[in-house]
Structure 1
Amino acid sequence: MGNLAPGIHSGRLAPQEYDANFSDLHPAYDKHEALVAADRCYFCYDAPCMTACPTAIDIPMFIREISTGNTLGAAKTIFDQNILGGMCARVCPTETLCEQACVRNTAEEKPVEIGRLQRYATDAAMAIEKQFYNRAPATGKKVAVIGAGPAGLAAAHRLALRGHSVTIYDAREKSGGLNEFGIAAYKTPGDFAQQEVEYIIGIGGIEIQNGKALGRDFSLDDLKASHDAVFLGVGLAAVNALATKGEEVQGVEDAVDFIANLRSSVKATVPVGRRVVVIGGGMTAVDAAIQSKLLGAEEVTMVYRRGKENMNASEYEQDLAASKGVLIRHWLKPREIIAQDGRVTAIELEYTHIENGALTGTGQTVTIACDQVLTAIGQKLDLSGINALKIEGGKITVDPEGRTTVTGVWAGGDCALGGDDLTVSAAAMGRDAAESINRALMA
């Protein structure tokens, strides 16, 4: 604790306050609540909610199954399209996807709560460890999956289902990827990410080797030589530098690390500042800001260089942050971290505006006193071990089936072109790439 900036402490709250603050954001339905919610669905024949789902789950079907008491049938309908349906039910931005498209979503009515209904069904199946699928006869083919995050897990499950032998290599000592290390603790309390990993590999035919990193412990050529196909679901493991004077001082921390530490620690032991500034306008920034407040920070300010309408975080998430007491300030970019004795005391920011179509500083500045700065300005692809692949826009170039420019190598999720930092999208890309791999192996 001696290396922390003044004002950064753990244990700011009473034990019961941590429990309350980090309780389930959207508590699970009980049976009666689920039946009432399911009864609101019109079971539309053209199902705009289904069209809005990246994994194309048959939403009217699974809701009808819930309404008739066939909860396990509903779970199977979900898992048929998305084996990570349990996590997606918790973290999907349903307010901008399926629920946004719901025909009940009007000024007079709220949409059917599809996410909570999905959780009701998937939780029921996972609670009794119900496995719906039997593996196809063994094909003798071996596939390497790099990354035990949503894309890698979805790909591994579908490949195992088709009878292939799958080995997942993950650089971390714990599997789950974004779901384990990058999701706000109040969205997935408990150990759900690990429960889901165990459920997925319960199909059989999947081995996970943790602490194995591409580019350090093996090369892409090594994997190609020992496997019949390779799927890359490595995510975006590197972080963008703030590139601001003073960013190296104590009290400045990457928000991704802050969130990961919070997920793997007892909440009362996680240090947080009294006055926190979070730089960024995406989901990571919102999660870091809200959780700083939940840990007991007195003042939390999010600063974003553009306007509200340009933020990557959804309007719902922005409103959620505001409801927790987070102040969101727009049209500000960091200019300098101000420090005393090597520890942050304030941040100087410059007002911005659009001039001739480009974002530019106005020359006017404002200083916000703080003792902790969390940076959430985006992550980027770690190029270790993938030099042979074509990279486009900072991501691995893939065709519509997930094939890279190297024969025998597929990619999906955030690391691949088309990935958009959503668990559900990563699951869809992993699933679809696995089907492409299966077709290639069985041709």
Structure 2
Amino acid sequence: MSRVLGIEIRRSAALGSALILLAVGTALLYLVQEAEWSTGWMQLVMSQRLYLALLWPLALAAGAWQGRREKQSNVIELFASTPRPRAQRAAPTLGAMALTIVVAYLLMGVAGAVSIIGHATYLPVAALAVTAVGALALLGGVWLGLAVGRMLPWLVTAPALAVAGLGLLLTIPGATRPRGWLSMVFSPIDEMNMPDAYTTVAGRISAAQAIWLGALAITGLLLFVSDGWRLRVAALLPVALGAALAITVMPHQNRLVVDSVDLAAKELVCAPDEPRVCVSRVHEGLLPEIVPQAREALTILAKVPGTPTRVHEDNTTYLPYLPAPISADVALVTVDTGKTADLTPKIVVSAFARPYDCDKGPDLADSLAAAYWLIGREPVAEAPDIAADAVLRWQELRKLPTEEAAARITAIRASALECK
């Protein structure tokens, strides 16, 4: 059987289709917002799922192109005259297309993993489930395409099916409103474009999607191997039952992924030495880059009494709002993968900044001026007006005697602590 499968892979459209999917998928990963998935494994596999918007229609088209092979080769009557059952003759084609397409999807993930394997040390089980559902989506797509290509063996079938598949994925969210959760049952790409560092996909969501996509794959398989209209009608039963069961399993709430937080990913992991520097588990691989900068910041802050003696990553989430623990002896800093080159001033600034949800305390210009007075250089900020205001206040501090400037900085620090 393995020899037959190898021959089918070489002689069919399986290998070429897989190479096209692999090339398109890898290009999408690296040419379209690489920063969106560079945090870790969950962000990578969710981005893969998002790009099924193009890969799934391509799988449909590949299956349809292969499905018309018997008609194109004028061997339908010849094969029908052989004693081998249709299912046995179709098995190598089904296996070759499924194996190559799924392997291409997994290799796409490997191509992305090359970029993050150095720092992504946290691999949640949910990421494996998200990958499995994506592979199952492509499997169902290619088998459904085989069935359509066999029943409609026209040259236009493959491109028309690709366009129809893309249109279907894009219209499902609108067609299922206001029940947003229903879109996630039938669309493998829905809500996969919102992964932050702590996003997860709940197990029930993956289970419901797997049920639907598995039923779709079985229907495609049965349609491809069936000979008569009765069997083709019966082949629709799995997809109907799968849809009903998937709807039952899927949680019935509209914001399923956006509001899902991986609490294990948020847990703080600390460097062993003092002073203590901690980051969330999902960023644990970045500790060697962050620790020296954090300890430099703490050395700078030590010039003023009552400033933080520890640094923690700010692991606040906003949908839902789960703030990071606030303590007077802790400086919170936001960590973004790929943006850890200059954390020292951000940590110093955070010691003089008021919390996100606090209306009291110093404004940002005062916080910047105080922090950069300690650092010993002119303040910088992304907003030009805030940067200009901070520079003016910093210059005022520099004109004061050291003791008076230090007293003002201490007052700014005290003001920042009002909500802590």
TM-score (norm 2): 0.26
Q: TM-score by structure 1 length?
A: 0.25
Larger Rg: 2
For CA contacts below 8 A with separation 6 or more, give which structure has more relative contact order: 1
Structure 1 or 2: larger helix share? 2
Which structure has greater strand proportion?
1
